[in-house]
């Protein structure tokens, strides 16, 4: 299944970054104990740590983007999508570049919303039936949901635990 593959990639990436972070911290404490570091040491260490965090974020984004355009098919419908088909508008802007809607504890991104009617927002239909028709991934949300396109170019939402990678 594609869900296990994604989490295997995430686990490897997190382990690599964790090992590098631990090595950086050990080096930092070694220098602090055995010598008197200068201002440049602190600056370089801080820059290396910021680069490591940036690398972690870029790697996560790279995994998500590598799934765009992949062809999948439904094999089960055990997992349900935690979002309702429609809900009332409660828009939240985060940082001015991400628009999302708050529903109970969930942040629903605007790309999962099909249309709005007054203050009511309607999400794309959820894929619940098992079929052999291929689906193309358009965008992945939180490594568990995906916005997909079917053969008739209709967009739908699918849970990644319910699908299998075809190509």
In the chain, domain spans: 2-67, 73-165
Contact 163/74 with Cβ under 8 angstroms?
yes
Instruction: Indicate whether this model's pTM tops 0.75.
Output: yes
Around 4, how many Cα atoms within 13 Å sit in the side-chain half-sphere? 2
Per-residue pLDDT, 95: 56
Per-residue pLDDT tens listing for the chain (167 residues): 788 889 999 999 999 999 999 999 999 888 888 888 888 888 999 999 999 999 999 999 999 999 999 999 999 989 988 888 988 876 655 556 667 787 888 888 888 989 888 888 899 999 988 988 999 999 999 898 999 999 999 999 999 999 998 87
pLDDT of residue 91: 62
What is the per-residue pLDDT for 117? 85
Buried b (16+ CB within 10 A) or exposed e, 93-131: eeeeeeebbebeeeebeeebbeeeeeeebebbebbeeee
What pLDDT, on a 0 to 100 scale, did the predictor assign at position 92?
57
């Amino acid at each position: 299944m594609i869900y296990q593959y994604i989490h295997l990639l995430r686990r490897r990436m997190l382990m690599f970054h964790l090992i590098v972070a631990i090595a950086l911290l050990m080096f930092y404490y070694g220098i602090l104990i055995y010598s008197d570091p200068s201002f440049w040491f602190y600056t370089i260490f801080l820059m290396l740590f910021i680069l490591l965090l940036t690398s972690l974020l870029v790697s996560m984004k790279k995994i998500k983007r590598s799934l765009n355009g992949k062809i999948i098919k439904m094999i089960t419908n055990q997992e349900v999508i935690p979002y309702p088909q429609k809900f009332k508008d409660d828009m939240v802007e985060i940082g001015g570049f991400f628009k999302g809607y708050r529903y109970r504890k969930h942040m629903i991104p605007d790309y999962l919303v099909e249309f709005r009617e007054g203050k009511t927002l309607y999400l794309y239909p959820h894929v619940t039936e098992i079929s052999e028709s291929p689906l193309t991934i358009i965008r992945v949300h939180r490594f568990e949901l995906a916005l997909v396109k079917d053969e008739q170019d209709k967009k739908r939402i699918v849970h990644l635990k319910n699908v299998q990678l075809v190509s």
